[in-house]
Amino acid sequence: MLFIFTVIALTMTFGFAENTRAVEKVFPFYPGERLTFKVKWSLIPAGETVLEILPIETINGVKSYHFVMTSQTYPFVDFFYKVRDRVDAYADVGMTHSVLYRKQSRGKTKRNVVVNFNWEKQQAQFSNLGKRKKPIPILAGSFDPLSIFYAFRLHDRKENAVIEIPVTDGKKCVMGKAKIVKREEIKVASGTYDTYLVEPDLKHISGVFKKARKAKLKIWVTADKRRIPVRIKSRVIVGSFVAELISAERTGPHLGILQPRQIQSYRSASHRNNKAGWK
């Protein structure tokens, strides 16, 4: 059931790039950041997903961010559909393109996906369990399904803005879109947040989204400089999924660790900063 975050990555896989401008080289995320989400399928707690940034590494001679996403279903859900996924994605420290992408699945579905990028030829090559596909041409500045999530956070928010970023999973490369619908305050288990509601365009997404006539994906991200997702909601052919932030750690160089009970006060401080011009 935790395919929701893979779908989010795929949505941002086939979503995002932007008519709003990218922020300068002051990034809203840092190595050490760790975001934990609880995922529900309808009303049933399904599992947890963790997004974290590991220390900077050099990959293929390129100094790179190392992004990791791990997903795991709870024991009750394991009986129906066990998920044990880990995704490792690398993007250059300037956040201009992806460098390497890996996904391992050890649950009901077995995968060992690798996407290699050749920027001299502007190509990406997909392989799974050692079986390679033919390299495909990709757009300049393309990101993989996980790095795109962080690339999305680099951009300013404003209502009705359309966001576009080229993205590839190694099998196809598209320029997707997402719209910033409105600014609103929402309450989740970890606190109350000032957010922007973002709705990705799902026309390039296959699978459960393609099969559902009224499929939707909604993402609420904080309205401050961190641009952290606090709720993701989807309606698909197999039901509805909601992922909510339950803890955020090291979300800025001077913030230290944010525990759930502290996030409300963090949000209030953020609101004061926004009034002072820190937006």
111: enclosing H helix or E strand: strand 110-118
Count the alpha carbons within 13 Å of 254 in the hemisphere toward its beta carbon: 0
Contacts of 249-257 spanning 24+ positions with Cβ under 8 A: 249/32, 249/33, 249/34, 249/35, 250/30, 250/32, 250/33, 250/34, 251/29, 251/33, 251/35, 251/226, 252/30, 252/226, 253/30
Can you give the pLDDT of all 279 residues of the chain as single tens digits? Answer: 444 544 554 444 343 333 444 434 678 999 999 999 999 988 889 999 999 999 999 999 999 999 999 999 999 989 988 999 999 999 999 999 999 999 999 888 889 999 999 999 999 999 999 999 999 999 999 999 899 889 988 888 888 888 888 889 999 998 867 889 999 999 998 889 999 999 887 665 544 334 445 557 899 999 998 899 999 988 765 567 899 999 998 866 544 444 433 444 334 443 443 333 333
Provide the residue ranges of all domains of the chain, joining segments of one domain with +. Answer: 3-275
pTM here? Answer: 0.80
Q: What is the pLDDT of residues 21-66, one digit of tens each?
A: 443 467 899 999 999 999 998 888 999 999 999 999 999 999 999 9
User: Which of 85, 205, 101, 204 is CA-nearest to residue 147?
Assistant: 101
CA–CA distance, 97 with 119 (Å, rounded to integer): 9
Q: What is the pLDDT of residues 174-183, one digit of tens each?
A: 886 788 999 9
CA 69 to chain centre: 9
Alpha carbon distances (Å) from 139 to 27, 54, 112: 23, 27, 24
174: enclosing H helix or E strand: strand 173-175
